[in-house]
Structures are given as structure tokens and as C-alpha cells.
């Protein structure tokens, strides 16, 4: 088990989350058991950083906070692996649907670009 610890600033650099987001995630229970130094400052471990990277992935792919909280709660119970898989598979389907919508919109944009380029060549 790694004993490496990180300051909040280092975690901000590693994850791209702001300090306010880190505090908010801790406050609402997405991030729990953040260690503290003897002076009371937050001290993150590799496990915390790994978990934040997962949260970053879920957030960046459009998972709502409420659903992220549901996933976090499931991860705290070893007997919920099937439920975690189901939640992630549902999210994966949502992501795939949004990707398909973006592909169609991109095709539309590219069509408009081609039209304008043809207009320039007249």
C-alpha cells in the first residue's frame, strides 16, 4: 500500500478539479475519509486521487452528481458489484447516445463548411 500523500494543491494539479470542487465533493460525500495533517490540513492519498480520476471521468461524460453519489454509495459496499456494473453500463449507453448525436451534428457542421467553401470558389 502506498503511503504517498498529496497536498490539496497537488491534487488540483493531478485531477484538474478546483479546491472548491474538492471541498464540495467531500462535503456531499463523494469523497470521504480525506486524511488530515496534525495541523488539520487535508492530506490526500493515492486512493483519493484514483477515486477523483474516476469522478472526473464520470463528470466529463455527463453523469449527474446525484448519479455519481449513487455510484459512490455502491462502492462502499463490497456486495454491490453487479449494481455498479449496471449503473456504469447505463451510463455507457447514455454516453454512446450523446456521441452519436454529436457525430450527426458534426456532419451537419461539416456540410455547412463545405457549402461555404463552395460559395467562396464561385
Q: 102-115: per-residue pLDDT in tens?
A: 999 999 999 999 99
**Reported confidence tier of residue 3, pLDDT bands at 50, 70, 90:** confident
SS3 (DSSP) at 77: coil
pLDDT for position 33 = 83
Question: Measuring CA to CA, which residue among 90, 91, 36 is closest to residue 60?
Answer: 91
Q: Summarize pLDDT for 47-70 with one digit per residue, the tens.
A: 999 999 999 999 999 999 999 999
What residues does each domain of the chain span? 5-120
Q: What are phi and psi of 5, to 5 degrees?
A: -125, 160
| CB-facing half-sphere around the CA of 87: CA atoms within 13 A | 18
5-120 domain in CATH 1.10.1660.10?
yes
Q: pTM for the whole thing?
A: 0.85
SS3 (DSSP) at 85: helix
Amino acid at each position: 500500500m502506498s503511503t504517498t500523500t498529496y497536498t490539496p494543491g497537488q491534487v488540483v494539479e493531478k485531477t484538474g478539479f478546483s479546491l472548491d470542487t474538492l471541498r464540495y465533493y467531500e462535503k456531499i460525500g463523494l469523497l470521504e475519509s480525506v486524511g488530515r495533517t496534525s495541523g488539520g490540513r487535508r492530506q490526500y492519498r493515492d486512493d483519493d486521487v484514483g477515486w477523483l480520476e474516476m469522478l472526473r471521468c464520470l463528470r466529463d461524460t455527463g453523469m449527474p452528481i446525484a448519479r455519481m453519489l449513487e455510484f459512490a454509495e455502491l462502492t462502499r459496499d463490497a456486495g454491490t458489484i453487479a449494481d455498479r456494473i449496471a449503473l456504469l453500463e447505463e451510463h455507457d449507453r447514455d454516453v454512446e447516445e450523446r456521441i452519436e448525436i454529436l457525430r450527426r451534428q458534426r456532419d451537419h457542421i461539416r456540410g455547412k463548411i463545405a457549402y461555404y467553401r463552395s460559395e467562396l470558389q464561385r
